[in-house]
Amino acid sequence: MAAHYTESAAKVVEPPSKIKRKAPGSGQVKRSVRRLESKAKVDGSAEYIYNLSLPGMLYGKIARSSIPHGKILSIDATAALAIEGVHAVITGEDIRRLIPDPYYGPAFHDQPILALDKVRYAGEPVAVVLAADPHVAEEAADLIAVEYDPLEPVFDEVAASKAGAPIIHDRLRPAATFPDLKYLQGRSGTNVALSGRVRRGDLEKGFRESDHIFEHTFRNGKVIHAPLEPFVTLAEMNGPDGLTIHTASQSPSFVRSEVSRLLGWPENRVRVRTAFLGGGFGGKLYIKLEALVAACALLVRKPVRIALTMEEQFYTITKHGATVRLKTGAKKDGRIVAREVETWWNGGAYADIGPRVAQKSGLTSAGPYDIENIAIDSHAIYTNEPPAGALRGFGVSQVVWAYESQADIIARALKIDPLEFRRRNILREGRPHATGMLMTDVDIDAILDRLAERMEWDRPLDHGSGTIRRGRGIAIGIKACVAPTTSVAMVNIYGDGSCGICCSTVDMGQGSDTAMAQIAGELLGVSAEAIRVIHPDTDVTPYDMATLGSRSTYHMGNAVRHAAEDARAQLLRIAATALQTDIDELECRDGAVLTRSGARMSRQITPFWMLGGAGAEIEVDTETGRIRVTKLVNVGDAGSAINPDIVERQLIGAGTMQFGFTIFEEMIINEGQVVNASFADYKIPGMLDLPDDLTGELVEVPHRHGPFGAKGIGETGMFCVSPAIGNALYDAIEVRVMEMPLTPERVLRALRQAQDRPLTSD
Amino acid sequence: MAAHYTESAAKVVEPPSKIKRKAPGSGQVKRSVRRLESKAKVDGSAEYIYNLSLPGMLYGKIARSSIPHGKILSIDATAALAIEGVHAVITGEDIRRLIPDPYYGPAFHDQPILALDKVRYAGEPVAVVLAADPHVAEEAADLIAVEYDPLEPVFDEVAASKAGAPIIHDRLRPAATFPDLKYLQGRSGTNVALSGRVRRGDLEKGFRESDHIFEHTFRNGKVIHAPLEPFVTLAEMNGPDGLTIHTASQSPSFVRSEVSRLLGWPENRVRVRTAFLGGGFGGKLYIKLEALVAACALLVRKPVRIALTMEEQFYTITKHGATVRLKTGAKKDGRIVAREVETWWNGGAYADIGPRVAQKSGLTSAGPYDIENIAIDSHAIYTNEPPAGALRGFGVSQVVWAYESQADIIARALKIDPLEFRRRNILREGRPHATGMLMTDVDIDAILDRLAERMEWDRPLDHGSGTIRRGRGIAIGIKACVAPTTSVAMVNIYGDGSCGICCSTVDMGQGSDTAMAQIAGELLGVSAEAIRVIHPDTDVTPYDMATLGSRSTYHMGNAVRHAAEDARAQLLRIAATALQTDIDELECRDGAVLTRSGARMSRQITPFWMLGGAGAEIEVDTETGRIRVTKLVNVGDAGSAINPDIVERQLIGAGTMQFGFTIFEEMIINEGQVVNASFADYKIPGMLDLPDDLTGELVEVPHRHGPFGAKGIGETGMFCVSPAIGNALYDAIEVRVMEMPLTPERVLRALRQAQDRPLTSD
């Protein structure tokens, strides 16, 4: 839905020169406009919530659970309160006096604002100390003494799904906003929050008709989002019965509705503002600190700020660890005829959006392949680890790791070139996907072609000899976009002809401000640089579901397009009046267009398909097991790119992120305790780690309904990097590592297991 | 023009109970809803810009001209800069480096941000000292030494209009936004900024046919607006090339466009925010501190705040002093057949909106009377006094003072009861006004009836004897509303059904938030108290011309009405889908209604007429000349009142304000120096001064195009109080004072001039 207004006919009318504009098609889209905020980010004037200070505010420091599972017997804040300068200590019981049912979450209302009665993971917030001096708050938080009665914990997602496992939540509490989850309401005695299921054809028949059956289990560890701007929220009273929340959030509209629901207030009494985000990657979605900070501010009736350290991020939200069992039946010629996929998602102690991750990524977990017989089961599992949620790709990279590793296994087993194996199996335009939805606006062949070209696939690779071996691998992947979903935009033309866009898309570095300005500018004949994009403020910028899942360019882009088209039509009408031309000719009304973006697609699983491929060349040191990626090619279909440079950098950025996840990033959780919660111990890629040859490659298959043919691209680069590297590893040293990340230890261990086999250069 | 959006069909759809709403006509309008902000104003949480503090901000203190007219020879800031803590001293030349042509104004671009080359009134801003400590800034401002070459000044508006008077501006510079003033461009050698002119019938013939001719000259002194919240503006950079202005302004949209024009920036780089205003009364319109504070912030690249003292308000903006010459020809039976009006408006050194005051109030300066032959001339005059602008009534109370005093004179001369005299002359529905526009939606008889009833006009008054004499008087008046004009509103329905209104109307105590909430609530079936009105922020709230001239209830009220009607239609459509009723029946489209409020009235002088009447009973002490008003009745036509209590209090508030102007308020300017610039010396009404019997009386003549029949009422109570009191004075002691205010000195002087005549009780 797109609405907009223009204003003051009188003001536009008087200088007719101002209303002469270039016709649409003014070269704003499909052009690498420099990011609008470049200068502000360089000179330090770009607004980040982290830098915000409110007069008289208190700093909050969270005291956290030391055990992974247990009943809270007592919380003793005496020593903390004795520290001079401590304003208050807030516990879950204090919160409960303000909010009788203080459980939140986008999919399930399962997460208490502060722990109540029991704790479910080590690092869970138990109390908050408030002080005018942040150092005082930190010192006092260490002195809060909590007595627990430990309960047996469970950490492994498969173990937690079995009967007899310790139960983490007494009852399931799906959110009322998701009516499809209502059947789970009140279910007890299980850690399975949700099981998604897809069936197509006749699986047993498919396996019977197969010449070869392959069955493997693949695993991913937990990793974190690691945005450079920490999690931060400030809250303050807004009049006697209002609340303003300033937060580094990807989903201001959700924060408003969820905090309103918790407080029992109408939404119009809660205002949520965001600014630029120093990265989000799905970590800053839904409620993180917002409910806690809001409750503290209301309890003490003063502004409150809580910002997390990098360590605390590990206790806040992670990417899902996952176990994927994959059974595939293939004909001799490589044609896949049956596939069974079962995935267990380690959701940690609270659901966050995990059940949706399980459900949605489950839909495409059979891969971008044309398979007649499919069975998919995808389980969201509670464990006593920190909560897992959305992370760039929304569960897709975990399943691509599995099916693209297996694709390589099958191809090699059947002695088919891995590229050719994929060509024989891919879904093509018009063919039904596992879910029955037809493939449209896609061209996977183009992605394979580009991969082959950029990887010089026809050129034999020198695999080396001695202790340094080389290999290469490729992978492709598919993701569906969230639907149905709503984005609303306003395009304002001010009295002097300058232009502003109001939308609640959060620019967290992905360049959305620039893309929206380009789309509006294209239609209004104004350069993108001259357009101002106003940042989310739920009081005034219209509703947007959230900035997630590569949806903004498509959904918000379309909303901006419709609003700009309508603004343009109105402008022409005003011009016709001013210039005394025939108004009837223009067929304009005193009206504005509203478009419910995506509404028409409600019976489809996705408004557009996200397709990508990756290729990698690596060197492996057989003495240490260390992998060095020498070339990484990430190919993605952005439809017609609004801004090609930004799109290519998105692919490179996502590739770099997933490269880290593949090679070394892993949260190490020992008996529920995160043991490497620092960037000294949890390694993210540095400049020297990056492949020398690292590229993002654009494939443009225009989408008929996308704004100027565009599709979302933010996640596509995440899908295929891991299996491409895994496949390159096999190519180099003929060992297969089924579990990510591909650390030297794992590589070496796999190599030793295969030591009886001689190393050949294939 | 009204635009709006609703959002997220999906969210509204799921709980159908939420979308069941009462039908329109839910009793929100025509009901005295308590002001929405009552609680916030009582508990101190209501936001005022005066209370805003920005991190790292500097305080500015203005150094002002000590002489009324002269060339600036030099400005020496050495001593000021020597004070520790002074960050900078800014002069007009510094401003000129940033803004080559730093002259601003709504009607004429004549006012420099800081004096350049010459000063034109005593108290004109000459320099600004900036310091982190406001006391340091104040101390340093006193040390700025300016050397002048004095020029001959002129203060009286009639004298200044004559040939040979000292010329204050070399050339007239009308604003391009008013094309009708273009003919004045470059005119030189005159202090007459504009002369408005109305002609009807044949004046000379009218006078020839008259039995009696009356000619008098009436005068008003200068008074001030005296809002309790001082003038205050803060400005800060918004990124590398943007500016945010927080200001106590009645016209945020104008501030944006005018500051943008001065800087040569597109409007989308300037953001203007307001909050609640602690009173405005027309004083906080257009540019006051905003351009100066914005320039200072850009020059020093730090946030800057300037707030004026009450004394400085006297040097900033005043109500027009005026001289009104009135020549009226009447038949024996009291029927007025010819009227000539000539008014000289003392506009002070800068035009502000004065030329429009002269022009617009000139249109109705022949009064609400049905007169065939009329000539009106209304001159806006530059003098060397502080600038005069809009003050509640926009020039109407000055001319009503004249024509209603004369009405009493004529009635008494012809021995006609003053009420009856007016009945014989008033304009009735369908009759042409002096301008030719037909009277519609009016009923002046109803006002006279109410006056007669509340004043118990049939009951003979005991005029007393001895030194305390009593009298009573009545008056009626008329005003036209600004047209054409634009207001835009958005009505947002949030996901939970709660509602917010975005509009740029400024709530300065007149209750506009409440009225807008009532109008939207009426249509949406929501109680007004549950609706949130979001305060002006030009980045996001739509354009509004300004909050002035009693226009908001009518113009913005209509914009809110249209937006709410449309939101309601959409809501019903969504409900129809959700409830599976027939959508065609509702005839709703995916569109929003835009309404250019007032556009259709462009050939009329007013969208609605403002009509009021007042009656007063007074006691006069013949020994001291002191007037005590014992009863004051203020009658106004609000159309169908949206909120009767607020309307009545508007009438009482305006009556109280005008009562002060009538009895004691007067700026005393001696040789261009304001000598009573403090509330110790410039008396405003206190509780003990008020009439014991003080009422606002509502007459409801519904307007066919008003929102629910409403008209504006904010100014109507200003018109008639002065002549009613003046007429009561004559009634009490048979002396006529032609010049306001009716101070004891003037009353006593008039009494002594009449001392040969015996005092009778009529």
- The complex scores an ipTM of 0.77
CATH architecture assignment, domain A318-483+604-754: 2-Layer Sandwich (3.30)
Show contacts of A36-45: CB within 8 Å, 24+ apart.
A36/A513, A36/A514, A36/A517, A36/A528, A36/A529, A36/A531, A36/A533, A37/A276, A37/A507, A37/A513, A37/A514, A37/B239, A39/B239, A39/B240, A39/B241, A40/B239, A40/B240, A41/A276, A43/B240, A45/B237, A45/B239, A45/B240
Q: Please say whether the beta carbons of A104 and A351 come within 8 A.
A: no
Q: What is the mean pLDDT of residues A526-540?
A: 89
The yes-or-no verdict on residue A394 having pLDDT over 50 is yes
Do A5 and B40 lie within an 8 Å CB cutoff?
no
Nearest to B532 among A179, A268, A570 (CB): A268
Residues of A in contact with B302 (CB under 8 A): none
* CA-to-CA dists, residue A221 to A155, A383, A438, B635, angstroms: 12, 14, 33, 78
Q: Is B180 on the interface with A (CB under 8 A)?
A: no
Interval A39-80: pLDDT, tens: 999 998 899 999 999 989 999 999 999 999 999 999 999 999
Q: What is the mean pLDDT of residues A470-491?
A: 86
Quick one: tokens of B219? 């005068």
Q: Is A275 on the interface with B (CB under 8 A)?
A: no
Quick one: tokens of A304? 């409150």
pLDDT of residue A222: 86
Nearest to A230 by CA among A213, A249, A202: A249
Do B532 and A269 lie within an 8 Å CB cutoff?
yes
Q: Please say whether the beta carbons of A193 and A108 come within 8 A.
A: yes
pLDDT of residue B596: 29
Nearest to B90 by CA among B136, B43, B142, B128: B128
Q: Please say whether the beta carbons of A556 and A2 come within 8 A.
A: no
Interval B153-212: pLDDT, tens: 999 999 999 999 999 999 999 998 888 889 999 999 999 999 999 999 999 999 999 999
Residue that wins the pLDDT comparison between A63 and A591: A63
Q: What 3-state class would DSSP assign to A556?
A: helix
- Fold category of A50-67+69-152+225-313 in CATH: Aldehyde Oxidoreductase; domain 3 (3.90.1170)
Q: Is A577 on the interface with B (CB under 8 A)?
A: no
The CATH 3.90.1170.50 domain(s) of chain B lie at 50-67+69-152+225-313
Q: Is B499 on the interface with A (CB under 8 A)?
A: yes
Q: Please say whether the beta carbons of B696 and B648 come within 8 A.
A: yes
Quick one: tokens of A707? 């704004």
Catalytic positions of B, written as ranges: 715
The yes-or-no verdict on residue A151 having pLDDT over 70 is yes
The CATH 3.30.365.10 domain(s) of chain B lie at 2-30+484-595, 318-483+604-754
Average pLDDT value for chain A: 88
Alpha helices, DSSP H, located in B381-443: 396-413, 418-425
Within 13 Å and on the Cβ side, how many CA atoms surround A141?
Answer: 23
Q: Is A264 on the interface with B (CB under 8 A)?
A: no
Chain A segment 11-40 residues within 8 A of B by beta carbon are: 11, 14-15, 37, 39-40
Whole-angstrom Cα distance, residue B29 to residue B638? Answer: 13
Which chain B residue has the Cα nearest residue A42? B240
What's the whole-model pTM score? 0.83
B460 exposure class (CB count in 10 Å sphere: 0-12, 13-18, 19+): exposed
Phi–psi pair at B603, nearest 5 degrees: -95, 5
Residues of A in contact with B499 (CB under 8 A): 268
Q: Please say whether the beta carbons of A40 and B240 come within 8 A.
A: yes
Interface test with B, best of A238, A494, A498, A596 (most B CBs within 10 A): A494
Do A488 and B5 lie within an 8 Å CB cutoff?
yes
Q: Is B527 on the interface with A (CB under 8 A)?
A: no
pLDDT of residue A572: 78
Whole-angstrom Cα distance, residue B357 to residue B388? Answer: 10
Dihedral sign, Cα of residue B666, residue B671, residue B673, residue B678 = negative
pLDDT of residue B5: 30
Distance from chain centroid for Cα A646:
18
Q: What 3-state class would DSSP assign to B476?
A: strand
Do B260 and A496 lie within an 8 Å CB cutoff?
yes
Say how many C-beta atoms besides its own lie within 10 A of residue B488's C-beta.
32
Which chain A residue has the Cα nearest residue B7? A543
pLDDT of residue B578: 63
Q: Please say whether the beta carbons of B195 and B377 come within 8 A.
A: yes
Do B240 and A530 lie within an 8 Å CB cutoff?
no
Residue that wins the pLDDT comparison between A177 and A428: A428
pLDDT of residue A758: 52
Residues of B in contact with A268 (CB under 8 A): 494, 498-500, 530-532
Active site residue A715: yes
Whole-angstrom Cα distance, residue B5 to residue A449? Answer: 45
Secondary element (H or E) of residue A744: helix A744-753
Residue A482 confidence class, pLDDT cut points 50, 70, 90: confident
In percent, the amount of chain A with pLDDT more than 90 equals 61
Do B592 and A3 lie within an 8 Å CB cutoff?
yes
> Letter for the amino acid at A379?
H
Quick one: tokens of B480? 């036209």
- Fold category of B2-30+484-595 in CATH: Aldehyde Oxidoreductase; domain 4 (3.30.365)
Nearest to B245 by CA among B266, B261, B264, B259: B259
Do A10 and B486 lie within an 8 Å CB cutoff?
yes
Q: Is B5 on the interface with A (CB under 8 A)?
A: yes
Do A240 and B39 lie within an 8 Å CB cutoff?
yes
Q: Is A599 on the interface with B (CB under 8 A)?
A: yes
Q: Please say whether the beta carbons of A373 and A339 come within 8 A.
A: yes
pLDDT of residue A718: 85
Do B594 and A599 lie within an 8 Å CB cutoff?
no
3-state DSSP of A378-435: EEEECCCCCCEECCCCCCHHHHHHHHHHHHHHHHHHCCCCHHHHHHHHECCCCCECCC
Starting at the edge strand that comes first in sequence, how are the strands of the sheet with A321-330 ordered?
A: A192-200, A373-381, A336-346, A321-330, A212-220
All residue ranges of chain B with pLDDT < 50 are: 1-24, 583-602, 759-762
Whole-angstrom Cα distance, residue A184 to residue A173? Answer: 7
Say how many C-beta atoms besides its own lie within 10 A of residue B189's C-beta.
8
Interval A247-289: pLDDT, tens: 999 999 999 999 999 999 989 999 999 999 999 999 999 999 9
Chain A segment 217-256 residues within 8 A of B by beta carbon are: 237-242, 253, 256
B499 exposure class (CB count in 10 Å sphere: 0-12, 13-18, 19+): buried
Counts for chain B of helices (H) and strands (E), in that order: 19, 28
Whole-angstrom Cα distance, residue A139 to residue A80? Answer: 8
